[in-house]
Amino acid sequence: MNVRLGMLVFFFGLSFTLVYPQEHQLAFKVLDGTSNLPIKDANISIIPCRCGGASDENGEFSIYLQEKSYRVTLSFVGYESTRMSVDLKKDMQLEVKMKPKQERLSEVIVKAKKVNEMITSPQMGVLQLESQELKKIPTALGELDVLRGLTLLPGVNNTGEISNGISVRGGSLDQNLVLYDYAPVFNPTHLFGLFSIFTPDVTSSIDLYRANIPARYGGRASSVLDIKVKTPYADTLKLSGGIGLVSSRLNLETPLIKDKLTLVAGGRAGFTDFLLPIFSRRLKNTKASFYDGTIKLLYLPTKNDQITFTGFYTKDFYQLDLISRIENIEAENNQYDFQNLNGTLNWQHSFNEETALRTILVSGTYNADNIFPEIDSSNEIEFNSRIKHLSFISEFSKFKPAKRLDYYLGTQINRYKIDPGALNPGTATSITPITLAQETSYELSGYANLNWEPIRFLTLSTGLRYTYYFLQGPYTQNEYDNVSGNVVNTEVFEKGEVVASYDGLEPRLGASIRLNPTTSLKMSYARLNQYLQNIYNNTTPLPTSRWKTSDVNILPQTSDAYGLGIYKSFNENRIEASIETYYRDSRNNLTYRPGADFFLEQFVEREVVQAPGRAYGVELSIGKPKGNVNGWLNYTWSRSQLRTESESLSGRINNNQWFNSDFDRPHTLNGTLNYEADEYNTLSFNFVVQTGRPLTLPNGVVELSDGIRAPIFLERNNSRLPTYHRLDMSYNVHFSKSKKNKRWQNDWTFTIYNLYGRKNPLNVFYTQRNGSENSDIFLDSPLGSFELLVLNAPLFSLTYNFTFQ
Amino acid sequence: MEVPFSEVEESYLPPEDFSITTGESWELHITLEDGRRYQSTPEMATSPVSISEIEASYNPELEFNINEDDFVPGHKVFVTLDDPAAEDNFYLWRYRSFERLIACETCAGAIFRDGECISFEEYEAQFGPCIDENAIEPEYTYTCERNCWRIRFNEKIEIFSDEFTNGVSGNRLGVADVLLYTKNNLLIELQQYSLTAEGYRYFRILKDIVDNNGNFNAPPPAALLGNMFNVEDSEEFVLGRFTIGLASTASLFIDRTAIEEDPLEPERNNIETSDLFSGNGLKVRSTAPCSEGRFRTSVRPSDWIDN
């Protein structure tokens, strides 16, 4: 992390020296406090010039600066940061002895860590949420939550308290590539969107790319969420964990063979059945449990090689009366059961200080099942669906710190095998077994990316990705009549035959122009293609929602995103502010045909409509990143709309006029405030206020011959839910149990989610009225109208966390 | 052949002797007063499937009722049928239920005279002072003059497609939820219609709108576009559907006297009428007529069992 920041600061520093003439030399010599040996690549950052750099082989660094007072921070992996004030009135030479951190890592580990950080340094245009920041954010029931934390960043939304993913800049939930140590995650939440699935304590970095997307990523049309698991650079045992209302966690970080093999393992288990009926009697038939676990092994065979293996497993099981039952299967109830199982093998070889080769093999399976216990029987009817994916990545990267140039080029091969659904009757004689045909598809990509500072003041990031996609037989491809939807032609493809193929060049461009020492202008452009999509007709997908590869009928989704932003810092970098604007033009977005049903649907292509889309917005952000009182405030104005181009009336949505997508949120204001009173007490708040989600309201009511009153809907998303707003609070008390034993540390986190008990509705729905019930509310309205709420009161929770190291 | 419909109480009905048999195809033509013409695509009559058994099971917590904010009791009605293997079958169920009505009229703050509830003020204005204010009850209930049955209808859209169960004989399906509005005995008259695939799709959209709309995964509502179109303007959205459904029927008598749970409607079986107001030619009254209509009948249902 430090290295990334240092590089950026370094570029800006040089431009500064040209602007101001009256200068003195400020030189440093950085030494190890114990051995007195010079430290190379220590970060030196200087405020208020926001300049600095890295020490050379002799531990030396020098810079010419204006006559002024400066605050200097020196940092290096494995050492405690050193801060000092410098009153620069003449040329100065300072010798700094850095103190190794208590948890001092061995030289091998430190070196490995440094190489890794160099290779994984991200490009500009990334929003980062560090796990330390994440821990401060007050969350529902005290669960650390990656996705919910991200919704506090500008341009990131979800569908409410229940959201099986995030929406980035108006894109749909499946348009984000979610990677957990390079492995794609198809269902990122536990319990139908209540909590994120990623094992909280082993997460090391969360990078969200939403504008200038590096060429190494591809396959989804709106953004990339790259979550990395902590690499166990450990040479002592560290144990941590927590006990919460919803889940309990345990993590272990330990060397297995000193300086050769280390391990981090984390797990979480949650049982919430007993909690839910407290909220409503309606939840009394609910069953819910979830688990997730991550292990990562680091093997250092030579000083130039690092091999890691990451294993990730999650499991959810739930039964909830508030999910509509699946039609046409008679059962006691409907249960959902799903698992993610991913494995990532990553070999990094560094040839020298400047070049490295990374080779990655990813394999994973996502299983999503429905279980239907048969009435008056012990038999269970099952619906099974599965995605198996396999991925190979090889990437060569080169860094030329002196020339301020780095580049990488690589290749990626992905294979997806989708089993869209099978109905397994068990011993039930009344159910016909059904198996939908498997879909096998490949994405072959080559990519290159160059980050370059051709002239001072300008940093360029250019990338190009080429992908060849094909769907492979066996496959039965139907052609449909545009208007009637009837099958007009069927073509059967043999095993290995190419059913459909698409290819595309995806240019990526980013430019950062430094206007003055505190102001920069950034521009970006990215084209993205998406060949794999989630098909669902709810506001948020169920775990069993169908994933579909592009074929002859379902064209790949593409998007062109343009961005422009101005970034400025004030008050000696204590305040950071930015304005970003974007426009995203997309094609072939998937939306459901009115009245679509996708469960075990053989002709699923007929039930979806592909529509062009447009999303645009302005994001204002102001933040104070440091100090005892820190936080940020974001305001976003944005729109997200779609338009169908269907010939048939039944395929048209809003008669082919632009309509608001489910993710259209014109106004969003959110803020976070942390008050770190001392090293023991932290108080945090976050606040969100946002335009309500688009909603479809009836245009009228009709009474049917059996007396049922049916609301009449003519348009989609013609109205909105009430404004969403919420304030959360968390209070963290950190203490050491014994002052002598600093290895054992504890903290308590008390959170109140929805502090003032705002009743934010998730949906509005209508019921039949029989007689005069609730007539004081509904008067003589033909239908009763209700709001579906997830929370109608503040939610309190207390979590205990411990660390032993 | 063209069959004209005639208007009866806001409904358009075919002649009484009109009937449809399996395999026939019909279109509906509508001409509005202003000359606009609408028409349906041809709709086929698919063969009805007979009901081999009908039964009901009582569940003290049949479903969650949002108005009551709790689980409510009721019966689930099941039918057993032999699904024909030769074709895709689509079913729709509707029912009418009959229960003996004891109280035919209740007047709140008023009394029942001349076929309507009359407030005391109105009564006295008409007939002169004759009411002892101390004797006024908040409401008065009147028993039915003769046998009278309350009719209720299905409140949900009950449909089924045999997509996962084609050709299964003895398929047992839940087809109706009959809530415990009262604890009076009840007769269910169930109709089982056979639909076309398009007809089923239309009723499924209707079901999503009417029944499946209050959940976390509620499908966003869709327009009820059926098979009707404007003859002159193919771009006009026409709602509704012309559906032919040939029906099998079955009846089931449910004895509810032994049920312990409280009914959803207040019990009115023991009526002590205290309306003794009379004067100026009006008589003491304790009964009210059955008021025949959609929701009441004095015609004894054919399968009613007296007890």
Q: Same structural domain for residues A91 and A137? A: no
B151 touching chain A per CB within 8 A: no
Q: Same structural domain for residues B153 and B230? A: yes
pLDDT score for A444: 98
Q: Which of A199, A227, A255 is where one domain is finished?
A: A227
Domain assignment present for residue A113? The answer is no
For residue A663, give both structure tokens. Answer: 């993710």
CA A85 to the chain's CA centroid: 39
Within 8 A of B224 by CB-CB distance, chain A residues are 702, 710, 712-713
A535 touching chain B per CB within 8 A: no
Q: Can you give the CATH number for the domain in which A154 is found?
A: 2.170.130.10
Helix axes A2-19 and A107-119, enclosed angle (nearest 10): 60
Q: Same structural domain for residues A493 and A418? A: yes
Residue of A604, A656, A704, A716 to mutate for B, most B C-beta atoms under 10 A: A704
Q: Same structural domain for residues B108 and B250? A: no
B294 touching chain A per CB within 8 A: yes
User: Nearest CA of chain B to the CA of A647: how many Å?
Assistant: 10
Within 8 A of B218 by CB-CB distance, chain A residues are 324, 538-539, 763, 765, 788
B121 touching chain A per CB within 8 A: no
For residue A294, give both structure tokens. Answer: 């991550």
Residue of A nearest to B97 (CA): A706
Predicted confidence (pLDDT) at residue A738 exceeds the cutoff of 90: no
Predicted confidence (pLDDT) at residue A7 exceeds the cutoff of 60: no
Domain assignment present for residue B96? The answer is yes
pLDDT score for A339: 96
Report A:586-615 residues touching B (Cβ under 8 A). Answer: 592, 594-597, 600
Q: How far apart are CA B54 and CA B188, in angstroms?
A: 10
- Bridge partners of A767, per DSSP, are A784
CB contact under 8 A, A327 and B218: no
Q: Same structural domain for residues B196 and B246? A: yes
Report A:189-248 residues touching B (Cβ under 8 A). Answer: 192
Q: How confident is the model at residue A773 (pLDDT cuts 50, 70, 90)?
A: low
Q: What is the ipTM of this complex?
A: 0.84
Which phi and psi (to 5°) does residue A639 adopt?
A: -135, 150
Domain assignment present for residue B1? The answer is no
Q: Same structural domain for residues A691 and A791? A: yes
CB contact under 8 A, B218 and A423: no
Q: How far apart are CA B137 and CA B201, in angstroms?
A: 53
pLDDT in tens, A170-200: 999 999 999 999 999 999 999 878 889 999 8
Domain assignment present for residue A114? The answer is no
Residue of B nearest to A537 (CA): B219
Residue of B12, B97, B217, B294 to mutate for A, most A C-beta atoms under 10 A: B217
Q: Can you give the CATH number for the domain in which A22 is found?
A: 2.60.40.1120
Q: Same structural domain for residues A477 and A373? A: yes
Q: How confident is the model at residue A21 (pLDDT cuts 50, 70, 90)?
A: very low
From residue A525, alpha-carbon distances to A387, A464, A615 in Å are 31, 11, 14
Q: How far apart are CA A139 and CA B162, in angstroms?
A: 45
- Bridge partners of A565, per DSSP, are A522, A580
Mean pLDDT in residue range A255-282: 84
User: Nearest CA of chain B to the CA of A645: how many Å?
Assistant: 14
Domain assignment present for residue A731? The answer is yes
Higher-confidence residue of A774 and A704: namely: A704
Q: What residues have CB less than 8 Å from B233, skipping those under 6 apart?
A: none
Helices within A2-129 (DSSP H only): 2-19, 107-119
Within 8 A of B154 by CB-CB distance, chain A residues are 706, 708
How does the average pLDDT of chain A come out, rounded?
Answer: 86
Q: How many CB pairs under 8 A join A and B?
A: 147
CB contact under 8 A, A713 and B209: yes
- Bridge partners of A336, per DSSP, are A318, A370
User: Nearest CA of chain B to the CA of A330: how many Å?
Assistant: 7
Report A:432-451 residues touching B (Cβ under 8 A). Answer: 432, 434
Domain assignment present for residue B264? The answer is no
Nearest residue, CB atoms, A328 vs list B163, B212, B265:
B163
Q: How far apart are CA A596 and CA A644, in angstroms?
A: 15
Q: Same structural domain for residues B125 and B30? A: no
How many folded domains does chain B comprise?
A: 2
Contact yes or no for B141/B271 (Cβ under 8 A): yes
Contact yes or no for A720/A691 (Cβ under 8 A): yes
Which phi and psi (to 5°) does residue A320 adopt?
A: -145, 125
Domain assignment present for residue A106? The answer is no
Report A:742-781 residues touching B (Cβ under 8 A). Answer: 762-763, 765-771, 773-774
Report B:152-171 residues touching A (Cβ under 8 A). Answer: 153-157, 159-168, 170-171
Domain assignment present for residue A426? The answer is yes
Within 8 A of A542 by CB-CB distance, chain B residues are 217
Mean pLDDT in residue range A273-293: 80
B219 touching chain A per CB within 8 A: yes
Q: What residues have CB less than 8 Å from B237, skipping those under 6 apart?
A: A649, A655, A714, B223, B225
Contact yes or no for A84/A70 (Cβ under 8 A): no
CB contact under 8 A, A594 and B64: no
Domain assignment present for residue A110? The answer is no
Domain assignment present for residue B260? The answer is no
User: Nearest CA of chain B to the CA of A153: how many Å?
Assistant: 25
Q: How far apart are CA A438 and CA A417, in angstroms?
A: 7
Domain assignment present for residue A248? The answer is yes
Report A:374-393 residues touching B (Cβ under 8 A). Answer: 375
For residue A500, give both structure tokens. Answer: 């459909």
CB contact under 8 A, B165 and A430: yes
Q: Same structural domain for residues A597 and A618? A: yes
Q: What residues have CB less than 8 Å from A523, skipping those under 6 apart?
A: A509, A510, A511, A513, A563, A564, A565
Domain assignment present for residue A660? The answer is yes
Nearest residue, CB atoms, B166 vs list A432, A710, A716:
A432
Judge if the upstream peptide bond of residue A48 is cis by omega within 30 degrees of 0.
yes
pLDDT in tens, A408-451: 999 999 999 999 999 999 888 888 899 999 999 999 999 999 98
How many folded domains does chain A comprise?
A: 3
Q: Same structural domain for residues A745 and A652? A: yes
Nearest residue, CB atoms, B164 vs list A434, A698, A702:
A434
Report A:611-650 residues touching B (Cβ under 8 A). Answer: 649-650
Q: Same structural domain for residues A740 and A685? A: yes
Print the domain residue range for A156.
126-227
> Can you give the pLDDT of all 307 residues of chain B as single tens digits?
899 999 887 788 899 899 999 999 999 999 999 999 999 999 999 999 999 999 999 999 998 888 788 899 999 999 999 999 988 999 999 999 999 988 888 888 788 877 888 887 887 777 777 666 777 777 788 888 889 999 999 989 999 999 888 888 888 899 999 999 999 999 999 999 999 999 999 999 999 888 888 888 888 888 888 899 999 998 888 988 999 999 999 999 999 989 999 998 887 656 665 666 766 666 677 888 998 888 899 999 988 987 5
Within 8 A of B172 by CB-CB distance, chain A residues are 330, 375, 430
Q: Same structural domain for residues A246 and A324? A: yes
pLDDT score for A16: 33
Q: Same structural domain for residues B87 and B199? A: yes
Q: Same structural domain for residues A572 and A720? A: yes
Q: How confident is the model at residue A59 (pLDDT cuts 50, 70, 90)?
A: confident
Q: Which amino acid is at A354?
A: E
Residue of A321, A654, A659, A706 to mutate for B, most B C-beta atoms under 10 A: A706
pLDDT score for A650: 78
Q: Same structural domain for residues B134 and B189? A: no
pLDDT score for A17: 32
Domain assignment present for residue B107? The answer is yes
Judge if the upstream peptide bond of residue A301 is cis by omega within 30 degrees of 0.
no
User: Nearest CA of chain B to the CA of A789: how many Å?
Assistant: 10
User: Nearest CA of chain B to the CA of A661: how many Å?
Assistant: 12
Q: Same structural domain for residues A80 and A131? A: no
Q: Same structural domain for residues A499 and A522? A: yes
Q: Same structural domain for residues A780 and A637? A: yes
Task: List the Cα angle A363/A365/A371 in 5-degree steps.
Answer: 175
Nearest residue, CB atoms, B216 vs list A322, A594, A766:
A322
Q: Same structural domain for residues B48 and B177? A: yes
* Per-range mean pLDDT, top range of A355-364, A649-658, A772-781, B118-127: A355-364
Residue of A nearest to B265 (CA): A771
The alpha carbon dihedral of A705, A707, A708, A712 has a sign of positive
Q: Same structural domain for residues B211 and B199? A: yes
The alpha carbon dihedral of A776, A779, A784, A788 has a sign of negative
User: Nearest CA of chain A to the CA of B278: how many Å?
Assistant: 31
pLDDT score for A550: 94
Q: How far apart are CA A413 and CA A363, in angstroms?
A: 12
Mean pLDDT in residue range A272-278: 71
Predicted confidence (pLDDT) at residue A276 exceeds the cutoff of 80: no
Report the relative pairing of strands B139-144 and B287-288 from DSSP bridges.
Answer: parallel
pLDDT in tens, A457-498: 888 999 999 999 999 989 999 988 877 778 889 999 999 999
Q: How confident is the model at residue A11 (pLDDT cuts 50, 70, 90)?
A: very low
Domain assignment present for residue B304? The answer is no
Q: Same structural domain for residues B156 and B17? A: yes
Q: Same structural domain for residues B48 and B188? A: yes
pLDDT score for A131: 66
User: Nearest CA of chain B to the CA of A463: how many Å?
Assistant: 40
Q: How far apart are CA B215 and CA A324, in angstroms?
A: 6
CB contact under 8 A, B214 and A597: no
Q: Same structural domain for residues B81 and B170? A: yes
Within 8 A of B213 by CB-CB distance, chain A residues are 765-766
Strand order in the sheet with A51-54: A51-54, A43-47, A68-75, A82-88
Print the domain residue range for B28.
6-101+148-254
Contact yes or no for A224/A177 (Cβ under 8 A): yes
CB contact under 8 A, B223 and A714: yes
Q: How confident is the model at residue A9 (pLDDT cuts 50, 70, 90)?
A: very low
Higher-confidence residue of A149 and A737: namely: A149
pLDDT score for B161: 93
User: Nearest CA of chain B to the CA of A616: how many Å?
Assistant: 24
Residue of B12, B163, B179, B212 to mutate for A, most A C-beta atoms under 10 A: B163
pLDDT score for B130: 66
Residue of A nearest to B295 (CA): A707
Q: Which of A178, A204, A227 is where one domain is finished?
A: A227
Name the region of A175 (left: φ>0; alpha: ψ -120 to 50; beta: rest).
alpha
For residue A771, give both structure tokens. Answer: 């007689």
Q: Same structural domain for residues B142 and B191? A: no
Q: Can you give the CATH number for the domain in which A278 is found?
A: 2.40.170.20
